[in-house]
Amino acid sequence: MGWPLIGETLQFFLTNTSFDIPPFVKERMQRYGPIFKTSLVGRPVIVSTDADLNYFIFQQEGKLFKSWYPDTFTEIFGRQNVGSIHGFMYKYLKNMVLNLFGQESLKKMLVEVEQASNSNLKSWSENAMVDIKEGTAQMIFDLTAKKLISYDSGKSSENLRENFVAFIQGLISFPLNIPGTAYNKCLQGRRKAMKMLKNMLQERKERPRKFRTDFFDYVLDELQREDTVLTEAIALDLMFVLLFASFETTSLALTLAVKFLSDHPPVLQKLKEEQESIIKRRENSDSTLTWNEYKSMKFTFWFINETVRMANIVPGIFRKTIRETKYKGYTIPAGWAVMVCPPAVHLNPMIYNDPLHFNPWRWEANTNDASRNFMAFGGGMRFCVGTDFTKVQMAVFLHCLVTKYKWEPIKGGDILRTPGLQFPNGYHVHISEKDS
């Protein structure tokens, strides 16, 4: 359990540059087995690397376990954030979000995603090089912010995304709130972003719009209903989480996807063949992607699954026991935190043959996105509601990239885990249009 108060927090936050299971977890798995206890930030935590226990935890949401995150998370995402809300209120918020990110909305959004991908790729090809991490993050943020709050970075006097930039460093960092630390920068970014969102909400209330055009309008309608259970605090925390979650994780996955394509020519060739065959089947080769074409991208989805399996962008998913729980001879005391560790499952050689080898073809026999052996998007009732949005973003961007452009890595591309995934030097490539 480590030292008094700080426990093993320092060891947990040690950086590493590997795609393998985090050293902190791997060493303790070897010493204590797949389920062990530790102490992080002054709290006892059970760490589960056992696929069956992880599945059991997700299935027992609301009965034996509930969603929980360390105090540092709630400081950053707000006391009323969707991860800290349970029961009816969580289902209510989830349904609200599905209005924006559900399949019917995504069908209408497909054209916008393709337009954004094409215009950004065209712009990048006119420069000597582009940082894929930065470029895709800005592209996705602009699209999401427009859908959520009609925000236009080109017309706004304030840079909203700037407030989120320090987040991935500070979100899973040592919780030391003094000037200069990653955690402190994270909190400052939250304060600035929340101030902007509060001002926007106030402006909308004072000057209501005739037609509902974005998610903010929908939220305002809900707030003004007499029987509403929504509060301004919950609504603002929800907007904040959606803005961050939509662009940061997807841009990390896309950056890694482009790097994997650069490093694995046979995979790139297969992806090109699939995407080019979609265009060849059309009557008009210049027409935009249809939903049926998107759903036909079989190899592309294998590729996306393999990318996020290797990426392990989320190093831990937290829950808390509602009451004492017994499992396979283990007793988990009531009120203890539990950290489900996805990387330990995704990189388990008993589950995935040669797990550190990038191989999209392994998904030919396993297409289940939410199984006990694959939890890149969470699991159970809290399975990520943005999963389909992420896949649309990635698949459409990859379609535009491999059918119209070629690229050459210039610099960067090294990963760092703290324990969250980062590209400390970005991933800079030179993009050029293909010869027609």
Contact call for residues 311 and 256 (beta carbons, < 8 A): yes
CA distances from 213 to 217, 218, 257, 360 (A): 7, 8, 33, 39
| HEC secondary structure over the chain | CCECCCECHHHHCCCECCCCCCHHHHHHHHHHCCEEEEEECCEEEEEECCHHHHHHHHHCECCCEEECCCHHHHHHHCCCCHHHCCHHHHHHHHHHHHHHHCHHHHHHHHHHHHHHHHHHHHHHHCCCCEEHHHHHHHHHHHHHHHHHHCCCCCCCCCCCHHHHCCHHHHHCCCCCCCCCCHHHHHHHHHHHHHHHHHHHHHHHHHCCCCCCCCHHHHHHHHHHCCCCCCCHHHHHHHHHHHHHHHHHHHHHHHHHHHHHHHHCHHHHHHHHHHHHHHHHCCCCCCCCCCHHHHHCCHHHHHHHHHHHHHHCCCCCEEEEECCCEEECCEEECCCCEEEECHHHHHCCCCCCCCCCCCCHHHHHHCCCCCECCECCCCCHHHCCCCHHHHHHHHHHHHHHHHHHEEEEEEEECCCEECCCEECCCCEEEEEEECCC
Contact call for residues 23 and 53 (beta carbons, < 8 A): no
| SS3 assignment, position 395 | helix
Is position 186 annotated in a ligand binding site? no
Please, where are the H alpha helices in 207-290?
Answer: 215-224, 232-263, 265-280
* Dihedral of alpha carbons 231, 234, 238, 244, sign: positive
- Give the tokens for residue 192: 């600035």
For the annotated binding site, the residues are 384
For the annotated binding site for heme, the residues are 384
